[in-house]
Amino acid sequence: MIKVLVVDDSLFMRRLVSDMLNSDPEINVLDTAKNGAEGLEKILKSKPDVVTLDLVMPGWDGLTTLKHIMVEHPTPVLLLSAHSKKDAEITIDCLHAGAVGFVLKPSGELSLDIENVKDELIAGVKAASKVNVTRLKSLVAKKPKKQKHKLISVNKIVVMGASTGGPQTLEIILSSLPVDFPAPIIVVQHVPTLFFTESLAEHLNKVCELEVKVAENNEIIQSGKVYLAPAGSKMTINSCSSFGVRNLIRNPRVENPEPRITEHHTISLRQEKQNLCGPSIDISMKSAVEIYNDNSIGIILSGMGQDGLEGMMGIKESGGRTIVQDKSSLIFGMPKAVIEAGYADRVLPANEIPLAMEEYVS
């Protein structure tokens, strides 16, 4: 049985969440708490396997409560978050502070229709229960030293896929890369709404030397930039050509300048239904292989399920290189699937992945 503590300032929400979780035969709600301080007290007393935590509460809010939990008794925490830009920003902060995942309330802080996310809530609790508590502590591992050598721009691309546990791991990896990283990086992180993609990009952009941004349709891909696939879109990479002529000022003796063709690689976005297991890692990786062939580098980080398995197979079979996060992953599902299928060139902890990336693009 998975032992759960429900922390929410609303009596109504505590009862609804408890009833939904108790309806599953593998879950038992031990107790509830009406605020963060009471929640911490009950965590220390009953030692639950998982805590569900509301973000907005009087006294200690969700982030403050989470920080106390991670210091005094690290426990897998699943957040309950509302659909708003502000809540998305707080949720991203909580993920970097140690929360393992989140479930969106359907209609605001007091969601009378929270039954609509019952399956997601139960799945989230079960996923959180599989997290090794020691992995929570490893998320604040010492970052590796940046390399001193100069990197030269190359015609290669890195496509990185992640789900639960991804935001924390992305910070460790991306913040360790130098500003002159010589290839573009595509990041496909499973998130339910664009608010969360934007908030994640803003957070990473503050802590990384590389520019991190939400990808835009038809924009040209450039080395040294990180492009996050927006929630609700299928992101692919296309190749296009533009025509120009020689510069007549620099070449005044050229009477009939020849046309010059310049090839660009661009991002293409197609709308899709938003869900917690999107955008698709496989789709982005496969499109990278079509354009870059053996110059593709695939990376799979923490997450449940098998998204990214087919993409990594395509990269491996094309002659590209593949890296998979090891058992330090918060959730070892996606990495494990790639390893067992035999498509992982290297299996590494998060803080060793940046150096491997530099080696592969050099």
Residues with Cβ within 8 Å of 203's Cβ and at least 6 positions away in sequence, in order, are 89, 92, 93, 96, 167, 171
β-pair type (50-54, 211-214): unpaired
Sheet holding 211-214: strands in order across? Answer: 211-214, 225-228, 185-189, 157-162, 296-300, 321-325, 346-348
Contact yes or no for 185/205 (Cβ under 8 A): no
β-pair type (211-214, 77-81): unpaired
Contact yes or no for 170/301 (Cβ under 8 A): yes
Q: Which of 9, 56, 49 is nearest to 29 (CA)?
A: 49
Residues designated as active site? 163, 190, 307
- The tokens for 119 are 């399956």
Residues 304 and 307: their CA atoms lie apart, in Å, by 8
Q: Which of 99, 87, 111 is nearest to 15 (CA)?
A: 111
Q: Which of 272, 310, 170 is nearest to 228 (CA)?
A: 170
